[in-house]
Chain A
Amino acid sequence: MCQVDEEYSGHLERRSVPGVSKTCVKCKESTAVLIIRLGDAFCRSCFKEYFVHKFRAMLGKNRVIFPGEKVLLAVSGGPASSSMLAQVQEGLSRDAPKKLRFVPGIIYIDEGGACGQSAEEREKAVALLENILRKTGFPYYIVPLEQVFGLPDSVLESVSCSPEGSGLSYKAAVVQYIQQNEVKQRHSESAGEEAQDAMARLSVHSQYGPEHRQALERLFSSLKTLTAKEDMLQTLRQHLILHTARVSGYSKVMMGDSCTRLSIKLLSNISLGRGAALAADTGFSDPRYGDVVIVRPMRDYSSKEIAFYNRLFGVQSVFIPGLDTKVPDKASIQRLTESFIIKLQADFPSTVSTIYRTSEKLHTACPPLNSSAEPAVKCLLCLCALDTKADEASAFQAILLSERLSVGKAQSDPPSSTTAGSPGQSCCQESGCGAGGCCSTSRASADLKSLLCYSCRLTMKDMTAVDSLPQYITLEAEKRQRRAQMKQEISEFLLEDADDDQE
């Protein structure tokens, strides 16, 4: 396989042994204590300055966080998010001119229930983490994953993305933000009680009941592959964070994804068929939820830099075993990608940064698939724009055809335009009901499938019992189907450009 022009210049060559210089390359005075990249030896204080500056530069460059805005820090206990927490603390403790000016809160999702941990193990982990969180003085929420079974279906409703900001300069946007906030505050005198109510509900549920624990166990045991389990966990975690942020009035969520983590995520998402949402999944900010924006301020740090910083400056982190702890390399696509990249990085030190830079060249917004298409319909699970309306000449249609052709000649009529047409209809044809009549579960899964993006369909394919999904998902699915049906019934009366659907 060498027909493609492969020109590898020096940067792909195997690394040479770094030259060890004794003094810091920056201040050229103190003794170096670590080497970050090839030959870059830093002393302790220069490294700290470099690390802190990077965090502030990342926020300063992107200018998405407004003064006084409430920002939720998603902390998993791992080194990267703990380091992020330390950076925020550092930034807020500074003198007035250089101070970070947002209002942080912390969220930790306790996923022990999905990873098969015992109640004692979970309590121990939570206690360790709570210890760290308490010391920060920031408000924090410890939310067990079981709470997804108490989520309202409004989580999945797509909130229209306000077009603000794009045209405005940062200064103008800040002014607008502050004005809006004042108005909101006047309103919230009355609405405050409501919010408090919601908060109360949330905190009541933070003790999960045994029925939710069982439901979660059932959900994860119905997923046959670790790949699907990890994907589902990611989705549910995201929903919980989103919900908590909304209920408590946070409009930004900070994730601690490092450069290393993001390049792994990029490659594994490509392998999972998530190419369409790649930019949103790995970029600095992810606007897909509309009212709550995900930002990733740690994306410039390699996991090595973070490990060094945490070690040198005593940043505490907690090790909490996850789904992929102690599993072999080939247990899941995510795990396989991780070990592939880590190994490649050891031989070719520019691997991570090259992949990472690829993510910066990608577009956040989904391109209009068809010019006549409706405003992007979103995937029920991951809330990215649906990528399943691709034209006939696509991998998606090709794999559907392969499945049709392998199942039975009865259904092998040539792929007509209906497959690409309204999603509600096409799926019933594909599901192969002709073979043995529609049993309710296969129908339910076929209906659900039409609301999902390419990759989430793969996850559902690995699931044996669709009815083990949390209720908020199935309810929202039914609601969307009813709406689609309704729209079809009245379709002849709708005018062509009535695409301003308020959903």
Chain B
Amino acid sequence: MPVQCSSCALSRAVLKRPKTGHSLCKACFFWAFEEEVHHTVVSGRLFSRGETVGIGASGGKDSTVLAHVMKVLNERHDYGLKLLLLSVDEGITGYRDDSLETVRRNQQQYDLPLKIVSYQELYGWTMDAIVKQVGLKNNCTFCGVFRRQALDRGAVMLNVDKICTGHNADDVAETVLMNVLRGDIARLRRCTAISTASDGEGAIPRCKPLKYAYEKEIVLYAYFKKLDYFSTECIYSPNAYRGHARAFLKDLEAVRPSAIMDVIHSGENLSVKEGVKMPVQGTCTRCGYISSQALCKSCVLLEGLNRGLPKLGIGKHHRLHGKILAQQPLTQEEEKKLKAVDF
């Protein structure tokens, strides 16, 4: 028996919303999904009229849907934003080169300007080359740290006011769980914020308009809208420990579908004790990027790569920052510890 849409009560429902369990028709689902993102944008005061907004586009489902919805909402609700796509080429053969093709197609479909910045031009290293030196363990640290800065540098080149990324509710909830498992109280407090502080120092503010959108609904939206996206996992294996948090969240969702929102709600309402030591934001003495240390993480990682000591940036080696800044050589003992492990 066909089920009727619970919203308009006219058409036949084609899907059951993963977030609420209601049966909706295609039109009502699109409308609800878009209006929810609109509410997130408006209530979170993410943008102001006249701003240039860079959409972090990887070619995957989240950023493809984000680009589509942002374009729709910008026209429907007259945000008055200038949108453009911003992509990072990490230099991963067989993964990023393919997904960037998707981004290029998106650019044409949505008629938005596109800027691609590559690790090669920014750092002189591609991920392929990094993995060759570092091995498959810890390579995600390099990629993640570099990508963060690469997006910012691309944004500066294009004179962008804000960056929005395709992080969805599942990602946020997963990060909350992850930070609890790691006992990382500083990140636990920050990770549910919808946008990073815009105190104008160095970094360009970032926000997550899809923060309350379920991953499954994003896929449903892309499926019914027939959006063109690239869906392959990165070839350099996902991180094992985060995988645990991810699997746990999926199980939670299966037991109680609202669990994803419940975790985010918990994260938003945590209050951290005053006496707990928090890192202070400063700037990197070498490149001027935001950093809580004398040297920012990507400068440390880069120094490690260039010196042939890839483990310099893995784990904590703050004591060596002074030596790196002064361009001094490390002692043999120190070097031995930081060399790549032979497999």
Contacts and interface: CB of A to CB of B under 8 A. Distances in A.
Interface of A: 1-10, 12, 225, 227, 266-267, 269-276, 278-279, 329-333, 336-337, 340, 344, 348, 351, 354-355, 357-358, 360-363, 365-367, 387, 390-399, 401-403, 405-409, 415, 454-455, 458
A7 B314 contact: yes
Contacts of B145: 5
B297 A5 contact: yes
Nearest to A365: B271
B181 A355 contact: yes
B24 interface: yes
14 contacts: A2-B234, A9-B316, A270-B180, A271-B266, A273-B263, A344-B244, A362-B270, A363-B272, A397-B39, A398-B40, A402-B19, A402-B20, A406-B22, A407-B7
Contacts of A397: 39, 43
Contacts of B315: 7-10
A278 to B, nearest CB: 6
Interface stretch (B115-123, B252-260, B324-332): B252-260
Nearest to B183: A354
Contact of B259 (A333, A361, A396): A333
Interface string B249-291: 0011011101101111111111111101000000000000000
A408 B270 contact: no
A354 B182 contact: yes
B248 interface: yes
B238 interface: yes
Contacts of A362: 270-273
B159 interface: no
B40 A1 contact: no
Nearest to A269: B266
Q: How large is the interface on B (under 10, 10 to 19, 20 to 34, 35 or more residues)?
A: 35 or more
Contacts of B246: 1
Interface stretch (B79-87, B103-111, B168-176): B168-176
B263 A270 contact: yes
A358 B270 CA distance: 11
B287 to A, nearest CB: 16
Contact of A227 (B20, B256, B314): B256
Given A10-B315, A406-B24, A363 B271 contact: yes
B32 A2 contact: no
A1 B262 contact: no
B164 interface: no
Contacts of A454: 262, 265
A401 B42 CA distance: 13
Looking at chain B's contact residues, the main secondary structure is helix
Nearest to B317: A9
A1 B238 contact: yes
A9 B140 CA distance: 14
Contacts of A390: 268-269
Contacts of B183: 354-355, 357-358
Interface in B109-146: 138, 140-141, 143-145
A406 B8 CA distance: 9
Interface in B151-194: 171, 174-178, 180-183, 185, 187-188, 194
Contacts of B176: 270
A387 B244 CA distance: 29
B148 interface: yes
Q: Which 5 A-B pairs have the closest CB atoms?
A: A275-B266, A2-B140, A273-B262, A406-B22, A392-B43
B88 to A, nearest CB: 10
B202 interface: no
A7 B141 CA distance: 7
B32 A358 contact: no
A271 B259 contact: yes
A266 B272 CA distance: 14
A393 B263 contact: no
B20 A403 contact: yes
A354 B24 CA distance: 43
A4 B144 contact: yes
B43 A2 contact: no
A362 B269 CA distance: 11
A5 B178 CA distance: 12
| Best-buried of B187, B252, B272 by chain A (most CB within 10 Å) | B252
A210 to B, nearest CB: 34
A12 B266 contact: no
B252 A336 contact: yes
A273 B238 contact: no
A161 B265 CA distance: 27
A358 B180 contact: yes
B315 to A, nearest CB: 4
Given A270-B177, A399-B258, A275 B148 contact: no
Contact of B255 (A5, A333, A387): A333
A405 B188 contact: no
Nearest to B277: A361
A8 B20 contact: no
B256 A333 contact: yes
A269 B252 CA distance: 12
B252 A393 contact: no
Given A390-B269, A398-B40, 18 more contacts: A1-B246, A3-B143, A3-B148, A7-B141, A12-B182, A266-B180, A273-B266, A275-B266, A276-B271, A279-B271, A340-B244, A354-B182, A358-B188, A390-B268, A395-B265, A395-B268, A405-B36, A407-B22
Contacts of A392: 43
